[in-house]
Structures are given as C-alpha cells and as structure tokens.
Amino acid sequence: AEIEAMCREAAGEHPLRFHQSNFEGEIVNWIHQAIDDGAGIIINPAGFSFTSIAILDALKMFAGPIVELHISNIHRREEIYHRSLVSKVATAVIAGLGPRGYATAVKSLKELIDA
C-alpha cells in the first residue's frame, strides 16, 4: 500500500494502473491490456526477469516506453541474476534504490512519455 501511494503521488495528474501478481500468465494479460490502452509500463519482474520468455514476448509487442525496476541491485547478486531477459526490451532499468525506486520509475516514465 505504501509503494502504491508513493507511485500515485509521483504520477500526479497522470493516470496510473497498479497491479501486483506472482502469476506469470496474469502479468502477461496485464501487458496485453496495456498494448491497447497504456502509454508506458513499469515492471518489477522479480524472479521472472531471468526465466520468462512469455513476459519478454508480451513486452516486445508494447510500443511505448518500458521501465524495468528492481528493488535490489541485481548486479551485486549471484551471476545467475545478472542477465535479465526483460532488460532486452526495457527503455530504462532502475535497480538498487529500494522501494523509492518506484517513485523514480514513475517520474522517469512520465518524462519518457512526454518526450
């Protein structure tokens, strides 16, 4: 709830849809919805970063900017976590800022959309 409130504050007047799921198919469905009516996507793919071809393929179909977000710095973790599939299609990647990275992601996405 705190992260969502932080994101809504950072979004200001811009509309924001906020989703959270641990289910890959549900995330893919939300990305597909964004293809039709979203201006940008912020995604924290967590463990799916390194394994989900389905999420990668869905994101490839999205025409707007995509910001990939990780609460921790994935590059300070084990080698297996250094290669995010999502990074291949992300416009920008934010990692290691903790929960405040979400507000940074929202502000950055607004700038990318308005550019």
**pLDDT tens digits in sequence order for the chain, 115 residues long:** 899 999 999 999 999 999 999 999 999 999 999 999 999 999 999 999 999 999 999 999 999 999 999 999 998 888 887 889 999 999 999 999 999 999 999 999 999 999 8
Residue from 67, 66, 71, 64 nearest 47 by CA: 71
Report which of 24, 31, 25, 29 is spatially closest to residue 49, judged by C-alpha positions. 24
Q: Which H/E stretch holds residue 102?
A: helix 101-114
CATH architecture assigned to 2-114: 3-Layer(aba) Sandwich (3.40)
Instruction: Classify 98 in phi/psi space as left (phi over 0), alpha (psi -120 to 50) or beta.
Output: left
SS3 of residue 39 by DSSP: coil
Specify whether the CB–CB gap between 31 and 42 falls below 8 A: no
pTM here?
Answer: 0.93
Q: Among positive and negative, which fits the CA dihedral 98, 99, 100, 101? A: positive
Bridge partner list, 43:
68
